[in-house]
Amino acid sequence: MKNKNTLINYVEFKTKDLEKTKQFYNACFGWVFTDYGPTYIAFEESGIEGGFETTEEEIVNGVLVVLYHENLNVIKDKIEAHDGTISIAIFSFPGGRRFHFLDPSGNELAVWSDK
């Protein structure tokens, strides 16, 4: 499916143990994983693509909803103009770039682009 602006595109979870997480979700639900270094794995065959990132911090809200937009600067400006707050500036990762933001209620989401 072609990426479309502002649709939920990816879901990211926190984990304390990547190997245990992979074993659990593969055995229980048949998810398939791709390793991206020692702290990140992506999954597919779950209904929506996503990933797990390791953390040493307490997991309070362990899910990050990731939206897609072809122009990060345009959507970032729109978010800020409507009382959103950028919580993590635009950064690069294998496959694209993204940033995180807080909505007016404090929920953290992210927006990524492959452009």
SS3 21: helix
User: CATH classification of 69-115, choosing from 3.40.50.150, 3.40.50.300, 3.40.109.40, 3.10.180.10?
Assistant: 3.10.180.10
SS3 72: helix
Is residue 41 a contact partner of residue 33, using CB atoms and an 8 Å limit?
yes
d(CA 55, CA 52) in angstroms, rounded, equals: 10
What is the third-level CATH fold of 6-64? 2,3-Dihydroxybiphenyl 1,2-Dioxygenase; domain 1 (3.10.180)
- Could you tell me what percentage of the chain is helix, strand and coil, using 3-state DSSP and rounding each to the nearest 5? 20, 45, 35
pLDDT of residue 1: 56
Domain assignments of the chain as residue spans, ordered by start: 6-64, 69-115
- Per run of 10 residues, the mean pLDDT along the chain (length 115 residues) is 81 93 92 95 93 90 90 95 95 95 88 94
Task: Give the side-chain half-sphere CA count within 13 A for 31.
Answer: 21
**The pTM is what?**
0.76
pLDDT of residue 107: 81
Assess whether the region 6-64 and the region 69-115 belong to the same CATH fold: yes
pLDDT of residue 42: 96
